[in-house]
Structure 1
Amino acid sequence: MIVWLNGTHGAGKTTTAALVQQLLPDARVLDAEKVGEVLMDITPGLPQTDNFQHWPPWRPLVVETARRVLSYTGGTLVMPMTVLVESYWREISSGLAEYAIPVRHFVLHADRTVLHDRIMSDTVMGPSRFRLSYLEAYDEAARAWLHDEADVIDTALIPAEQVAQKIADAVLRQA
């Protein structure tokens, strides 16, 4: 099974993924951003883009990487990754479905003010205009399709440990 943690920058995906991994038996974290980093390291570089998700190989490579890891290890993959383009989500989720890999899709949500404050006060990554630039795209995706496709958990008022517990409880109830 895959537990996909979606949401924009500052929602708490990375922190929550590590906590969820500790709560689920045989769980591992697979950050699909690492697949993008592999593509970014190709020389000479792939065609210029502002987001590696726009490169057509990224999406099937995420599917294939997850499939191969699950085939090798079994268990659950917790995947913290923002996907705001509906067609990209459909490509990934249908690719996983072709391999009969169940996906529990969660969106970690917080209002724009909370996200802005988290991004600008991030002590690990530092303030980031790049990360702020995705807030509008997240709002649009949330209104158009994203919140209809997932279990939405508001992370603004509860600590990451409680968010992780909610996710783990939902996954374990389904099992």
Structure 2
Amino acid sequence: MIIWLNGAFGAGKTTAAHELLHLLPGSTLFEPERIGDQLRGMLPKERLAEVDDYQDLPSWRSLVVDTASALLAELPGPLITPMSLLSQAYRDEIFGGLAARRIPVRHFLLQTEETFLRARIDQRAAVDGDAVRARCLDRLAQYDAALSWLTGDAHPVAASELTPRQTAEALADGVRSGAGACPIVQTAPPRAETLAAGVLFFDERGRVLLVDPTYKPGWEFPGGVVESGEAPTLAAAREIVEELGLTLDKEPTPLVVDWEPPRARGFGGVRLLFDGGVLPAERLAGLLLPPEELRAWRLVTEAEAEQLLDARRFARLRAALRARAQGSPLYLERGHPIGA
């Protein structure tokens, strides 16, 4: 198990973590910041200049999951992890990767009043200088912006008036009571190329429905992987029932067949998109999302979809909208139409 202590810089995560080690037998301190330090020493300065923070490096996020998994193969656990994680997309990637390895996460938020945080920033700046002050204040602004999702995702511990020991005791009580649990679907990482089927639904204004998974970053189309021996249309219908609580009135119409090449962190495969038709307002109002898999759904225009989807998925969506308009499916490779 991972006990993830989140919060702003100066919230006392590390000191509370050291105290918590004494209260949870068998626990071990796991500091992902050390992975960031190692990457800073190994990556070329040109690559480091492309990111604002080591958390922006895909290698860091991947190594956090892999290192935690390796440590828990050696140790009884839990791993106590004091680390600010203020990007919801990065939270989804890391926590989803841990869930895929069947490692549960308890997520706690150390809430500290801003006056205390600023005082601690000033104390550090008195030693390390104004550049450190500016960086810490920038992170404080990031923390404030993240509170809208953090407060709903993590179990809060009001730590402003507590000593590190008292904070650790509150955390230990929370762990023992089951607080902070993050139920995330345990989707095993693919071991070979996959066949996946997605379904596009539209509202009466022509906007397309996207969903926000809890186990991976970014927005996605409703749908999922086709199981061995399963027809893609049946897989699409099954996934729609599981993800949205919808039963298709008829077989969905094919829009796009897209071959996705293997990448450094994925095997690729064939991606299908079907047309699920227009959903009236009453059916949209009745959508039921599994909370361990999907956080939200949204109706978006094509321009809005470009801001939410990664480049591969947006290229697929754009081709699907074209196929829908012309009334005939398209075959793609790498998101680009072939022979059309």
Same topology, TM > 0.5: yes
Partner of 1:68: 70
Report if aligned partners of 1:9, 1:132 keep a CA contact under 8 Å in 2: no
* Whole-angstrom distance in 2 between the partners of 1:36 and 1:44: 13
8 Å contact 1:120–1:126 — kept in the other structure?
no
Structure 2 spans left out of the alignment, 5+ residues: 180-340
2:110 maps to 1:108 = yes
Shift in Å, 1:160: 1.5
Change (3 A) 1:132 1:75: same
Q: 2:207 is matched with which residue?
A: none
Give, as a single letter, the amino acid of the residue that structure 1 aligns with 2:86: L
Could you say which structure has the larger radius of gyration?
2
Note if 1:142 corresponds to 2:147. yes
Q: Does 1:169 align with 2:173?
A: yes
1:154 paired to 2:158: yes
41, 55, 58: which one pairs with 1:56? 58
- 1:13 aligned partner, one-letter code: K
Structure whose residues are more often helix by fraction: 1
Runs of at least 5 residues in structure 1 that lack an aligned partner in the other structure? none
- Residue 70 to residue 120, structure 1, CA distance change in 2 (3 Å): same
**Alpha-carbon contact 2:20-2:171 (below 8 Å) kept:** yes
Q: Whose relative contact order is higher, 1 or 2, with alpha carbons under 8 Å and at least 6 apart? A: 1
Q: Deviations along 1:96-144, whole A, 9 cap, x unmatched?
A: 000111111001111221100012124997563122221111011002x
Aligned with residue 123 of structure 2, among 121, 124, 145:
121
**Partner in structure 2 of residue 133 of structure 1:** 138
Deviation at 1:153, TM superposition (A): 1.0
| CA–CA distance in structure 2, aligned partners of residues 119 and 8 of structure 1 | 11
Q: Is the 8 A contact 2:109 2:151 kept in 1?
A: yes
Report the count of equivalent residues.
174
When the two chains are superposed, the root-mean-square deviation of aligned CA atoms in Å is 1.9
Pick the structure with more strand per residue: 2
Q: Which amino acid aligns with 1:135?
A: L
Aligned to 2:41: 41
> For 1:142 and 1:93, how far apart are their aligned partners in 2?
18
Answer yes or no: is the 8 Å Cα contact 2:110–2:157 preserved in 1: yes
- Using the aligned pairs only, state the percent identity: 39
